Amino acid sequence: MKTAIATASYAGDFERCKLLCETLDAHVTGFTKHYLLVESQDVGLFRQLENAHRVVVDEGDLLPSWLKAWPDPLSRGKRRIWFAPRILPLRGWHVQQMRRIALAAHVDDDAIFYADSDVAFLRPFDVATLWRGENLRLLRHDDALLRPVPGDQLIWSANAGALLGIDPSQKSPHDYIGTLIAWRRDALLSMCKRIETVHHAHWVEVMGRVRRFSECMIYGRYADEILGGKGHFHDGKDLCRVYWFAPAPTDEQFRAFVAEMKPEQVAIGMQSFIGVDTGHIRKLIGC
């Protein structure tokens, strides 16, 4: 089974993405290509990360031409905002999710393994281990939504059901969100087709009307509730240990964080908003 790796990124995350690429090249095997999915204006910057197995993909080649990015006046042009008829204004994190889904229509791999820009691989990882025969690993935290959860997970799950045309009374108890996850290409394509059939509009437009969504929740509910789990096996273990909250860790705290990685964890993620210097992380992990 062929598996590609994909990372949706932007100029502000370039140094983090560069570290991801360096550690991925050092530790990860068993994949066909690593695709960097970026906005048109960032293509030139990210081209320097290309190599024999890494390719930069322009957002304009993935998403409909009617979805346009503009400088966000509320940030004095430092950030971008995406507009189109019949959708709500979208931020970068919305469009990055859409790129991840849209890539399926442009590759011929059996699956796509997603790694965020703020991830660094510290241990060997063979992408082939995501497969059990013809079944792909689906990250699922069983019954996690039955307990108190932070943020918008319950809203994202409900909106995923609405996008997929699932009866609102059929609530999912599971959380599918993770940092290193894999999706089947054929499931992504049929998922998009279902959204368009249910709502009689392009799937990007339908998601853009909702705005509060998680691509992980959409795919997870589709795989389990529409496909009945076909082509997947469940695993509740996170492959990446993530440092979520500010302030940034001290050197001692960082080393302890790495030392406490579980056996199945092959990478760490340092959320960009906590203010960790990427160059310092590079030194601490010896990259």
Domain boundaries, the chain: 3-238
Query: pLDDT above 90 covers what percent of the chain?
Result: 82
CA angle 196, 198, 202 (to 5 degrees): 20
Burial 81-103 (b: 16+ CB within 10 A, else e): bbebeebeebebebbbbbbbbbb
248-277: pLDDT as tens digits: 788 888 889 899 999 999 999 987 766 677
Q: Are strands 135-139 and 131-132 parallel, antiparallel or unpaired?
A: antiparallel
- Model confidence at 282, pLDDT cuts 50, 70, 90, reads confident
Question: Token digits for 51?
Answer: 């190599």
88-146: pLDDT as tens digits: 999 999 999 999 999 999 999 999 999 999 999 999 999 999 999 999 999 999 999 99
What pLDDT was estimated at residue 275? Answer: 67
Rounded to an integer, the average pLDDT of 241-251 is 80
- Model confidence at 246, pLDDT cuts 50, 70, 90, reads low
What pLDDT was estimated at residue 279? Answer: 79
Contact 121, 241 (CB under 8 A): no
Res 245 pLDDT > 80: no
- Model confidence at 244, pLDDT cuts 50, 70, 90, reads confident
Rounded to an integer, the average pLDDT of 204-227 is 97
Of 23-37, 40-54, 138-152, 195-209, least confident by mean pLDDT is: 138-152
Q: For every residue of 42-95, which 3-state class applies, written as one string?
A: HHHHHHHHCECCEEEEEHHHCCCCCCEEEECHHHCCCCEEEECCCCCCECHHHH
In 180-238 the beta strands, taken as DSSP E runs, fall at 180-184, 232-235
Rounded to an integer, the average pLDDT of 17-25 is 96
Rounded to an integer, the average pLDDT of 7-23 is 95
Question: Token digits for 264?
Answer: 């199945």
What pLDDT was estimated at residue 77? Answer: 62
Res 9 pLDDT > 70: yes
Q: Does domain 3-238 have CATH number 2.40.128?
A: no
Contact 260, 199 (CB under 8 A): no
Q: What is the dihedral of CA 62, 179, 139, 200, to 10 degrees?
A: -30
Rounded to an integer, the average pLDDT of 159-178 is 96
Mean pLDDT across the chain, nearest whole number?
Answer: 93
